[in-house]
Amino acid sequence: MPAKTWKEWEGPVLELQDGIAKLRQMAAKEADSAKRKALESKIAEYEARLAKYIDTQYSQLGPWEKVLVARAEPRPYTLDFIQAICSEFIELEGDRRYGNDPAIVGGPAVFRGRPIVILGHQKGRNIQQRQYRNFGMAKPEGYRKAIRLMQMADRFGLPVVALLDTPAADPGVDSESRGISEAIADSILTMLGLRVPTVAAVIGEGGSGGAIGIGVGNHVLMLEHAVYSVIPPEGCAAILWRQPERGDEAAAALRLTAQSAMELGLIDRIVPEPKGGAHRAPDVAALSLGDELERSLKELSGLTPEELREQRYRKYRSMGVFGTAG
Amino acid sequence: MAEFIKCSGCGRVLFHTELMQSWKVCGHCGWHHRLSARERIEATFDPGTFEELDADLVSVDPLGFPEYREKLAAAEQKTGLRDAIVSGMARLDGLPVSVAVSDFAFMGGSMGSVAGEKIVRSLERAAERRCAAIQFCASGGARMQEGMLSLMQLPKTNAGVQRCRDAGVPYIAVFTDPTMAGVLASYASVADVILAEPRAMVGFAGARVSKQAGVGKVPDDFQMAEFAHKHGFIDRIVARGELRDVLAALVRILGARCYAG
């Protein structure tokens, strides 16, 4: 049976880390210097073993393991990245229609000296935060807030950076009543029509319509272990084989990794993650993402407003693989 | 075709020939049975004016997805279509219109690369030829078997809508049973005018997804055209018998400028 969660999959690593932490405590309390030396060498040995284990594990991540890593709780989320890469950020809340959706955050920011508008899906880490952020599943008001922010960026000639990290858009009765489909469709159309540079980056889970709703970029980036899928692998397995537990097979079939997206020509670049994944060294991951975002914004800064719109049109217009009969 | 059909609305046994005279609307309970794309075209546009285009596009299996080729072959066998969309030019009260009709019988009308391409071409064609665009939707959503490629058909089809808006040509969508998920969350929901057939299923998340996400009790009319209409996301619910006339009037009025030029 494949692991079901990131915690389960990284179990051996977490155990080893725990063990090392305990040894450290013991070493700190140890008065006898010879004994302390022995403990310290033990720690060094375990640490080397841990590093090697992480190295091997993360150099051969399969599609399902990537799904687990992309969903990992300690993985940096949108606000973590914003905090790390922007020198200023003023969050603006509310869609001016109905309410404020905490599952999508955004506002004007300064990124490496450039004024921009940055937005993205926001997940929560503990139970309260997860509930408050609705597990990163945005409601119509979230997409309408995004539309409002993007239109504002357009008015003031500011580039838009969107960070994608959602399992899906919210499927509940409330969202349906307030037009979740229309909100996503309108957000996609708005983004297509912007006359400012747009860069989208999948930082974790790129979950279907909920993700593409704010994912229309002149450039699209994906973090090395992020995933992007039309349907969650468990859902796909439930439809295909009526066995949601075969998510690992469905993940492989869906070709949802950054590497596959690159091969299919659906993204522009893969953002390398630190060894052992973005959650092992969030600062390094943020630096890496920042570098790639800056590169994209520099490349796009040479295009006129009309060229930016046309480039986006052509990019999405050409997506798809088909044949002709005869 | 069977001689008798059991009505999905009231359960009465109906003669096929009789049912076809009302374009599959039950004479007893008014239930709108699904039409094939060809039937829809015949029921809607001026007789003999439909000229099919892009009929040569075929789905391939870009991901090597389990059982996809078999499903495509079976759908082709069943419907006589190459994919879920039939598109081309037709006339409505004499006015040219660019149309695309999805056929639910072909893999649930799901939108993969071929459907997306045909939809965007039909929208672009309207913009180029300066005529109205009409999309008949009938789809469970994006085609899972094409993975991320099918997800990208959401922005792709919307790019066609953008062209229509830029060109100032009207785009009308008709939601027929069912209009769901990826189709509803893209080109379908951003039409200038949205019509729907009575009791068509219209919604974002399918029952299976909702259940997995723990969506609890839902209202009786949840994910019905009437529910979306009540909440302001559908302009009018129009019975099949009146659809042609409503469409023709909209095309004539909203398209006044493009047809005059």
Considering the domain architecture, whether residues A95 and A10 belong to the same structural domain is answered as no
Instruction: Say which residues have a Cβ less than 8 Å from residue A197's Cβ, sequence separation at least 6.
Output: A159, A160, A218, A296, A297, A300, A301, A303, A308
Q: CA–CA distance from A40 to each of A17, A29, A31, A47 (Å)?
A: 15, 12, 13, 10
Considering the domain architecture, whether residues A78 and A51 belong to the same structural domain is answered as no
Considering the domain architecture, whether residues A277 and A215 belong to the same structural domain is answered as yes
Considering the domain architecture, whether residues A194 and A49 belong to the same structural domain is answered as no
Does residue B1 carry a pLDDT above 90?
no
Considering the domain architecture, whether residues A157 and A194 belong to the same structural domain is answered as yes
Q: Which tens digits make up the pLDDT trace of B167-206?
A: 999 999 999 999 999 999 999 999 999 999 999 999 998 7
Considering the domain architecture, whether residues A91 and A41 belong to the same structural domain is answered as no
Is A195 contained in some domain? yes
Considering the domain architecture, whether residues A55 and A195 belong to the same structural domain is answered as no
**Adjacent-strand bridge partners of B57:** A324
pLDDT at residue B2 in the model = 66
Dihedral angle, C-alpha A24, A26, A32, A33, nearest 10 ° = -10
pLDDT at residue A240 in the model = 84
A320 with B186: Cβ contact below 8 A = no
Q: Which of B162, B221, B216 is nearest to B186 (CA)?
A: B162
Does residue B3 carry a pLDDT above 90?
no
Does residue B110 carry a pLDDT above 80?
yes
Radius of gyration of chain A (CA): 22
Radius of gyration of chain B (CA): 18
CATH number at residue A112: 3.90.226.10
Comparing CB atoms, the residue among A186, A253, A255 nearest residue B190 is A186
Is A1 contained in some domain? no
Can you tell me whether residue B218 is helix, strand or coil? coil
Is A323 contained in some domain? no
Does residue A185 carry a pLDDT above 70?
yes
Q: Which of A93, A51, A7 is nearest to A274 (CA)?
A: A51
Does residue A219 carry a pLDDT above 70?
yes
Contact A244, A237 (CB under 8 A): yes
Contact A254, A207 (CB under 8 A): no
Q: What is the mean pLDDT of residues A292-318?
A: 97
Q: What share of chain B is helix, strand, coil (3-state, %, to 5)?
A: 40, 25, 35
Considering the domain architecture, whether residues A258 and A149 belong to the same structural domain is answered as yes
Neighbours of B127 (CB within 10 A): 22
pLDDT tier at A57, thresholds 50, 70, 90: confident
Comparing CB atoms, the residue among B57, B63, B232 nearest residue A322 is B57
Residue type, B243: L
- Count the residues in chain B: 261
Does residue B214 carry a pLDDT above 70?
yes
Does residue B216 carry a pLDDT above 80?
no
Q: Which tens digits make up the pLDDT trace of A146-173?
A: 999 999 999 999 999 999 999 999 999 9
pLDDT at residue A88 in the model = 98
Q: What is the mean pLDDT of chain B?
A: 94
Residue extents of the structural domains in chain B: 1-33, 35-260
Hey, which residues 184-223 in chain A have their CB within 8 Å of chain B?
A: 184-186, 188-189, 191-193, 208-209, 212-213, 215-216
Q: Which tens digits make up the pLDDT trace of A267-299?
A: 999 999 998 999 999 999 999 999 999 999 999
B66 with A173: Cβ contact below 8 A = no
Is A322 contained in some domain? no
Does residue A141 carry a pLDDT above 60?
yes
Contact B120, A317 (CB under 8 A): yes
Considering the domain architecture, whether residues A132 and A12 belong to the same structural domain is answered as no
Considering the domain architecture, whether residues A80 and A46 belong to the same structural domain is answered as no
Is A191 contained in some domain? yes
Q: Tell how far CA A173 is from the center of its chain.
A: 26
Considering the domain architecture, whether residues A136 and A250 belong to the same structural domain is answered as yes
Does residue A312 carry a pLDDT above 70?
yes
Is A279 contained in some domain? yes
Closest residue in A to B189 (Cα) is: A182
Can you tell me whether residue B212 is helix, strand or coil? helix
Q: What is the mean pLDDT of residues B136-141?
A: 97
B229, two tokens? 């209409």
Comparing CB atoms, the residue among B113, B120, B151 nearest residue A321 is B113
Q: Residue B242 is inside which H or E element, if any? A: helix B240-254
Comparing CB atoms, the residue among B154, B162, B215 nearest residue A212 is B154
If one counts the domains in chain A, the total is 2
Does residue B208 carry a pLDDT above 90?
no
Can you tell me whether residue B188 is helix, strand or coil? helix
**Min Cα separation B71/chain A (Å):** 12
pLDDT at residue A60 in the model = 85
Which range of residues forms the domain containing residue A207? 68-317
pLDDT at residue A221 in the model = 98
pLDDT tier at A3, thresholds 50, 70, 90: confident
Give helix A33-59 / helix A11-29 axis angle, nearest 10°.
Answer: 160
Residues of B in contact with A178 (CB under 8 A): 231
Q: Residue B176 is inside which H or E element, if any? A: strand B171-180
pLDDT at residue A2 in the model = 81
Considering the domain architecture, whether residues A28 and A169 belong to the same structural domain is answered as no
Instruction: Say which residues have a Cβ less than 8 Å from residue A85's Cβ, sequence separation at least 6.
Output: A111, A112, A286, A289, A290, A293
Instruction: Spell out the SS3 assignment of chain A.
Output: CCCCCHHHHCHHHHHHHHHHHHHHHHHHHCCCHHHHHHHHHHHHHHHHHHHHHHHHHHHCCCHHHHHHHHCCCCCCCHHHHHHHHEEEECCCCCCCCCCCCCCEEEEEEEECCEEEEEEEECCCCCHHHHHHCHHHCCCHHHHHHHHHHHHHHHHCCCCEEEEEEECCCCCCHHHHHCCHHHHHHHHHHHHHHCCCCEEEEEEEEEEHHHHHCCCCCCEEEEECCCEEECCCHHHHHHHHHCCHHHHHHHHHHHCCEHHHHHHCCCCCEEECCCCCCHHHCHHHHHHHHHHHHHHHHHHHCCCCHHHHHHHHHHHHHCCCCEEECC
Domain B35-260: which CATH class? alpha beta
